[in-house]
Structure 1
Amino acid sequence: MRIAVTGSIATDHLMVFPGRFEDQLLAGQLGHISLSFLVDTLDIRHGGVGANIAYGLARLGHRPLLVGAVGRDYETHHAHLASLGVDMGAVRVSATRHTARFICTTDASDNQLASFYAGAMAEASVIDLADVLRAGAGFDFVHIGADDPAAMARHTRTCRTLGMPFAADPSQQLAWLDGPAIRELVDGAQLLFTNEYERALLLDKTGWHERDVLDRVGTWITTRGAKGSRIERRGEPCVEVEAVPTTESVDPTGVGDAFRAGFLSATGHGHDVVGAARAGSALATLALRSVGPQTYEPDPGLLEESLTATYGPGAAALMAGAPL
């Protein structure tokens, strides 16, 4: 399955605070917060949800097309992804703006405080996904991740017009989108990805109930961190998929994107949604053990070991596309 991945492309500035944010917050003073945190480390890494998912797919042997906008300061990241097999032909380079920046501090409980500077991402709406898909024959699926809101809406309309199956994954942008905009992004999606907080936000802003969402999407996948994931389909029982456990949590940045890459990879190899969620969980746990969202290496032996230990014999085939 040939996959086009749309979404942000960014440089991540990742810091670690050795304490807990909650210990610094005072009841009754939350309307007047003025805090700074002395951090232990700073890592500057390649990031962005679109680039992160494309990275994961490429490391699993796919050749995804990345669709997004960057600045002229992007050459090193461009070469890095291209060398791994990501098709960079649909990446727009801004003449005036810097590549987007994600600045994030993680505390000892894996809570995160982050800021995002859009920069060149604001030009993603200029990209005509219809032209991109026509120019590159053989695309079967589009993943629409967090991006410039106008770009997300345009890409979604293009997929519906062309009859192209797509995944809706608005993630961080749910905080800024209103109900009508969210409903437009979700309606007709073959896959809908949220985490638990995003799930609640989506329902609150759209005014939909769970059944309303399931009337409009094929499969709703909710990631739940260490609790695994929930798979829902209209008219079918909800399925809970346990996470691949780990005792080593290094950096949660990009873990959800790794889950999506593993899920899409297994789906592309013909596995069902439960198998895809298991594959996603294995890749997410691997990403959790690395600093930065594009540094983990999907070692076949390690993935086979973790999948087999969690889900039993035969589960390792999820990463290879072999029949279970």
Structure 2
Amino acid sequence: MSFGGRFRDSLVVDQLDKISLSFLVDDLEIRRGGVAANIAFGLGRLGMRPVLVGAAGEDFADYRSWLERHGVDCDSVRISETAHTARFVCTTDPTGAQIASFYPGAMSEARLVELGPIVARVGAPAYVLIGADDPDGMVRHTEECRQRGYAFIADPSQQLAFSGGDVIRSLIEGAALLFSNEYEAAMIEQKTGWDTATVLGKVGVQVTTLGKDGVRVQRAGEEPLHVPAAADVTAVEPTGVGDAFRAGFLAALSWDLDHERACQVGCVLAAYVVETVGTQEYHFTPEGFLARVRASYGDAAAQEIGAHLR
């Protein structure tokens, strides 16, 4: 929602302990989101058939239909009998100040989801990506991956700020991939007490997004790989850009492309999102996607990626 005035004009400093405010907003936009759904949507747009795992409310029906139409398997989403789907509600004024609330709702039931029956239904996973979710659910799913031998990806993102070092270490150690942005990578080191070399010794690959500066990929004992962001991007709104990058990166890995090509696919998909308001409102054709790959990374990249893009 957008408020035309300024929040600060409605605040009486010596009365904040009795605060009671309402704002007449100019518009209301309801958009689809959630990191798991955003990543799954991106994978679906690239021709994958990702399996969405998590918990939602009975109000999930319309969203489920949308995701299924875009290639996402939603049969393993737990539907709560008592809570609504998690949602973020935000009002912004012209200065960029925000008043926001996050309702976790059904997300707290993610800890009740067992991965074993899902694998029995769909087959062994290439990866299980464990993103920001109910903290107990994240820990449980990480432990289950270790116990059952599923390759897992650690992507704790927003939950890093609310987690202690012990929890973060338990979510990361043994991951095939660790995703984060640059700030989150520093937070991981600060909270775990691990330096960069130690983190690299705990995971297979560390992938760090650098915003407009692209992506850095690190492996223990190897020189870092730096891939620039896609060219000629007109940034409009950054929400969901990291999720799109992950979708593109993982799609490329499923095509057996190397890390450089995976970063390039991720960066081009992320470009579509940053140029659009909303995390799942972007559109592209295979031809248009490859044209952007070629413009940003050259003919060889376009040829290799084009062999897989549908």
Sort the TM-score into its range (normalised by shorter chain): 0.7 to 0.9
Q: Partner residue of 1:311?
A: 297
1:213 to 199, 219, 233: 199
Residue 209 (structure 2) aligns with: 223
Identity %: 49
Whether 1:159 and 2:159 are equivalent positions in the alignment is: no
Q: For residue 162 of structure 2, what is the aligned residue in structure 1?
A: 176
Moved more, 107-116 or 189-198: 107-116
Instruction: Report the secondary structure of 1:120's partner residue.
Output: helix
Q: Does residue 250 of structure 1 match 2:225?
A: no
- With over 3 angstroms needed to count, the CA separation of the structure-2 counterparts of 1:233 and 1:321, relative to structure 1, is farther
Q: Which runs of 5+ in 2 are unaligned?
A: none
Distance 2:230 2:40 in 1: 22
Give the secondary-structure state (helix, strand or coil) at the position aligned to 1:65: coil
* Post-superposition offset of 1:133: 1.2
Moved over 3 A (4+): 15-21, 34-42, 104-115, 317-323
One-letter amino acid matched to 2:144: T
In 2: Cα distance, 1:104 partner to 1:254 partner:
16
Residue among 235, 250, 270 paired with 1:264: 250
1:41–1:322: structure 2 CA closer, same or farther, 3 Å change rule? same
Q: How far did 1:109 drift?
A: 11
Tell me which residue corresponds to 1:283: 269
Shift of 1:131: 2.0
Maintained 8 Å contact 1:259/1:284: yes
State the match for 2:260 in structure 1. 274
SS at match of 1:140: coil
Counterpart contact for 1:60–1:319, Cα < 8 Å: no
Equivalent position amino acid for 1:256 in 2: G
Letter in 2 for 1:160: R
Deviation readout 1:283-302 (Å, 9 max, x if unpaired): 00011111211111232222
Whole-angstrom distance in 2 between the partners of 1:169 and 1:123: 19
**TM-aligned CA deviation for residue 166 of structure 1:** 1.2
Shift in Å at residue 315 of structure 1?
A: 1.7
Deviation of 1:193 after TM superposition, in Å, equals 0.3
Counterparts of 2:292 and 2:96, CA distance in 1: 22
TM-score when scaled to structure 1? 0.84
Residue number in structure 2 paired with 1:51: 37
Higher helix share: 2
- Output the CA distance in 1 between the equivalents of 2:136 and 2:150: 19
* Partner SS state of residue 167, structure 1: strand
| CA shift for structure 1 position 104 | 4.4
- Structure number with greater CO (CA < 8 Å, separation at least 6) is 1
Q: Which runs of 5+ in 1 are unaligned?
A: 1-14
TM-score by length of 2: 0.88
Alignment length, in residue pairs? 301
Q: In the aligned structure 2, how far is the partner of 1:56 from the partner of 1:110?
A: 28
Partner Cα separation in structure 1 for residue 274 and residue 220 of structure 2: 32
* Mapped partners of 1:280, 1:248: distance in 2: 17
Q: 2-side partners of 1:16 and 1:248: how far apart?
A: 23
* Structure 2 Cα separation of the partners of residues 112 and 98 of structure 1: 23
Cα separation, 2, equivalents of 1:226 and 1:119: 34
Distance 1:221 1:312, change over 3 A: same
Aligned to 1:251, what secondary structure does the other structure show?
A: coil
RMSD between superposed Cα atoms in Å: 2.9
1:283 touches 1:298 (CA, 8 Å); kept in 2? no
Aligned mates of 1:88, 1:246 — CA distance in 2: 35
Query: 62, 83, 88: which is aligned to 1:97?
Result: 83
1:19 and 1:321 map into 2 onto residues whose CA distance is 52
The structure with the largest alpha-carbon Rg is 2
**Deviations 1:103-130 (CA, angstroms, capped at 9, x unpaired):** 3467999998854221100000000012
**Residue among 283, 286, 301 paired with 2:287:** 301
